[in-house]
Amino acid sequence: GSSGSSGTISSGVPPELPGPPTNLGISNIGPRSVTLQFRPGYDGKTSISRWLVEAQVGVVGEGEEWLLIHQLSNEPDARSMEVPDLNPFTCYSFRMRQVNIVGTSPPSQPSRKIQTLQSGPSSG
């Protein structure tokens, strides 16, 4: 339980829980990475300290499990980010959360489902 907090907030406005990002878009789809574009949600009257990317991998309907796959810290003004370490030729759906000093926002609406590219036989 949190009863009583020491220290005052100079602005006089207590920070609140942030809202979810919106307008998720996907571009630059490759075999192992994609670029997510988004519009930040309500920031809770304080700066966003971290962006979380969750993904639903493979077919929907079985597990429908959202896994945290990427985080971006100390970029409060981010409008897009690269999501690395994906598997080639795999279906993904993405959603995002934003984090401030108070806590983590609800998840955004899921993005459209995409399929990463098949990795070539001799890439790299």
Query: Which string of DSSP letters, residue by residue, matches 74-91?
Result: S-TT-SEEEE--PPTT-E
Q: 25: which strand partners?
A: 37
- Whether 45 maps to a domain, the answer reads yes
- In a domain? residue 70: yes
Q: Is residue 77 part of a domain?
A: yes
Tokens of residue 86, six digits: 């994906």
* Per-residue pLDDT, 69: 97
- What's the rounded mean pLDDT across residues 61-68? 81
Mean pLDDT score, 26-43: 97
Distance separating alpha carbons of residues 69 and 18, to the nearest angstrom:
20
Q: Tokens for 85? A: 């370490």
Q: Which of 61, 82, 62 is nearest to 71 (CA)?
A: 82
Look at residue 12 and tell me if it is in a domain.
no
pTM higher than 0.85: no
Asked if the model's pLDDT at residue 87 lies above 70, the reply is: yes
Q: What's the CATH code of the domain at 30?
A: 2.60.40.10
Residue 44: how many other CB atoms lie within 10 Å = 20
Total of domains in the chain: 1
DSSP state of 46: S
The count of C-alpha atoms lying within 13 angstroms of the C-alpha of 33, restricted to the half-sphere facing its C-beta, is: 8
* Residue numbers of the domain that contains 106: 22-114
Residue 2 scores a pLDDT above 70: no
Question: Average pLDDT of the chain?
Answer: 90
The per-residue DSSP string of 10-26 comes to TTSS---PPPPPEEEEE
74 touches 49 (CB < 8 A): yes
Mean pLDDT of the region 72-88: 96
Confidence of residue 120 (pLDDT cuts 50, 70, 90): confident
Residue 124 confidence (pLDDT):
57
Asked if residue 4 is part of any domain, the answer here is no
For the cut 80, the answer to whether the pLDDT of residue 15 exceeds it is: yes
The verdict on residue 8 lying in a domain is no
pLDDT band at 13 (very low <50, low <70, confident <90, very high): confident
30 belongs to a structural domain: yes
Q: What is the pLDDT of residue 64?
A: 77
